[in-house]
Every structure is written in structure tokens, then in C-alpha cells.
Amino acid sequence: MTDHHDHSHSHSHSHSPPPEDTSDAQSLYNRIYHDQIWTMNESEPDAGRDVVKPWAERYDTTKILTSDADEQVILHIPFTGLVKLYSILIRSYSDDTAPRTIKLFKNRPDLDFSVASDLQPSETLTHVENVGDIVEYQLKRAVFSNVESLTFFVEDNYDADVTTILYIGLRGEWKHLSREPVITIYEAAANPRDHKSVVQSEKYISEFND
């Protein structure tokens, strides 16, 4: 099963256009509800929040995310508006605790391990082995548009008892999410043409009755 997954992953990307460069200016760090980030199967409370760090702290290992009972982890990140995701940056140790299969789910704040295992992900990443530096994964921008939240499901690692993640960064575009109904615009400013039509109709009815 593993060989088949690796083959399909590389094959699908061989037909993709070259990835577009991103920069730290496109960081979404300040567009995240950090106090609403949650994690399942973390060894320390709020460790998931700790690894979603600003770019300047990407090499700081005083705060890391380590799984608890086994190698699987779910990490949910909500945004303060609508996001078009360009890429994900991940740093781990260069050993067997590095995550391997990472499934990404768009706008699914309801996931648990059972649902995540059965549900078709928006995209699946295979984190590279034996690399201790930051790796950037370009995403399909057409798929990851209008994103209100992103959920990571780390399905396995490179054969360690627990998984460790040192840093996660997100890059893309953000826009304010307004939930006000459009109809309020018309209520605030009535159309003079509509008002004139009503007045003319009332005048016609009055003349007809006379």
C-alpha cells in the first residue's frame, strides 16, 4: 500500500505547473485565531499553538509539538477571514519522529481520528525524510481558496513511537470575511426610481377611482 501511495503522489505532481515562489511577506501568521488552535493527541497542552510560530522564531526549539499515545496527531488552525493558501512550511527533526503522511482538510473543524481516517482529504503531503531544515510544500491554489480553517492529520511517521513537529508556517492571501447581508445596503439607501414608481401608481389609482 505504501509503494502505491508514493507512486500516485509523484505521478500527480509530474504534470503540475512549476510552483510559484512565496515570501515571508505572504505569511498568514497574523491572520490566525491562535487562541482557537486545537490539537488532538498532544503530549503537552496547547503544544499545537506553540509550533505555529512567526518566521523569526522558526528555529526556536523551546516549544515543540510531540504526540502522546501514538504517532498520529490532528492540528486545527482557524483563520480570521477567508484565505487562499499558497504553501505550508514544516520543520521537524531529521530522525524517525518526523511526520510522514500529512493529510490536509479544508474547512473541517469537526474532525476526529475516526473521521479523518475515512474522509477524502483536500490534499495529501509526504514530508521528506532525514531533513532537519524547513521544507515548503506548494499547494493547489484552486483547491485551497476560500479557506476559513485548515486541519492537519498526521497519519504516520518514519517508524517512531511518537511524532515531533518543530515549526509550521502558512503563506497565502487573506481577505476580510464580512457576514453582513447585502440587503442592508438597499435598506439604508432606497432607490429614488423605485420610490417614483410607487408614487405614480398611487396617483393613477386615485385618478381612476375619481
Per-residue DSSP letters for the chain?
Answer: -HHHHHHHHHHHHHTSPPPPP--GGGB-GGGB-GGG-EEESBSSTTHHHHHB--GGGTT--SS-EEBSSSS-EEEEEEEEEEEEEEEEEEE--SSTTSEEEEEEEES-TT--HHHHHHSPPSEEEEPPSS--S-EEEE--TTTSSSEEEEEEEEEEESS-SS-EE-EEEEEEEEE------THHHHHHS--HHHHHHHHHHHHHHHHHH-
Residues spanned by the domain of 105 = 2-180
| 205 occurs within a structural domain | no
Residue-level pLDDT at 43: 97
Predicted confidence (pLDDT) at residue 167 exceeds the cutoff of 90: yes
| 41 occurs within a structural domain | yes
Beta-carbon contacts of residue 24 (< 8 Å; ≥ 6 apart): 55, 171
**Higher pLDDT among residues 19 and 94, named by residue:** 94
| 159 occurs within a structural domain | yes
Phi, psi for 39 (deg, rounded to 5): -135, 145
| 206 occurs within a structural domain | no
> How many independent structural domains does the chain possess?
1
Residue-level pLDDT at 177: 66
Residue-level pLDDT at 15: 35
Q: Provide the whole-model pTM.
A: 0.75
**Higher pLDDT among residues 3 and 126, named by residue:** 126
Predicted confidence (pLDDT) at residue 200 exceeds the cutoff of 60: no
| 197 occurs within a structural domain | no
Residue-level pLDDT at 157: 98
Predicted confidence (pLDDT) at residue 180 exceeds the cutoff of 60: no
Which CATH number fits the domain that encloses residue 22? Answer: 2.60.120.470
